[in-house]
Amino acid sequence: MSIHIGAEPGQIASTVLLPGDPMRAKFFAETMLADVVCFNKVRGMLGFTGHYGDKRVSVMGSGMGIPSLSIYVNELVDEYGVTTLMRVGTCGALQPDLKIGDIVLAMSASTDSHVNRLRFGGMDYAPTANFDLLMSAHEAAHVLGIKVRVGGMFSSDTFYEDDPDWWKLWAAYGALVCEMETAGLYTLAAKANVRALSILTVSDSLVSGAAATSEDREKSYSKMAEIALAIAE
């Protein structure tokens, strides 16, 4: 057991999928994995290990935001020896040609979070996806017939901003989408010398104001997990 994860040693696979929502972790485990065992219920942050074909894979909620995700990533890596972390989460579109249900592979994560400014004494760090995972995910998506976009995105510390136009500067500099975790994931993975990739599904658009229906959610959210499972080792 670690402070926030109740698993015994060996109960967590070396590859972990990380949706933000623990109930989505349960849904992915129940619908996509076989021989599923629940390894964590601490704070309701459900985690499961099962098999996808002959691959042993875990899926666990990360919670929302860099602080929550960072607690779990630190413990997964340091206490359970996890070597591949794939966020499978939702995001808001910042570009007009991205629609609800579209999938983005996050190449780099700009952020307004100060966790890295604190860590690096006021200097900037460039959180970046693992290239092998990014390339494999791109290839797997092609084989699966799932269209993906690849590019930079933005991890925010706030979901509710005072300024309704806050995102336009990031959009002008090419950020495809926003969410709240990837900059933290990529930084911690780099520090631990493990692999990380965020595979994101557009759940809403800051450009058009559109939001996913429950039908959209069910149909499209499994696609990002399919890509992640296809490249799990």
Segment interacting with ligand HPA, rule: CB under 6 A, options 51-59, 84-92, 184-192, 225-233 = 84-92
**Under DSSP, is residue 191 helix (H, G, I), strand (E, B) or coil?**
helix
Which sign, positive or negative, has the C-alpha torsion 108, 112, 117, 119? Answer: negative
Is there binding between residue 179 and ligand HPA (CB under 6 A)? yes
Stretch that binds ligand HPA, among 44-52, 114-122, 123-131, 173-181 (CB under 6 A): 173-181
Is-contact 203 91, C-beta < 8 A? yes
Catalytic residue flag (residue 97): no
Residue type, 186: Y
Position with the least CB separation from ligand HPA: 92
For residue 73, which of 137, 17, 10 has the smallest C-alpha distance?
17
Q: Give yes or no for residue 178 binding ligand HPA (CB under 6 A).
A: yes
Of residues 183-222, which lie at the interface with ligand HPA (CB under 6 A)? 203-204, 206
Q: In whole angstroms, how close is the CB of 91 to ligand HPA at the nearest point?
A: 5
- Exactly one of 21, 112, 157, 204 is catalytic; which is it? 204
Report how far residue 5's alpha carbon sits from residue 7's, in angstroms, rounded to the nearest whole number. Answer: 6
End-to-end CA distance of the chain: 24
Catalytic positions: 204
- Name the site residues for ligand HPA (rule: CB under 6 A): 90-92, 156, 159, 178-180, 203-204, 206
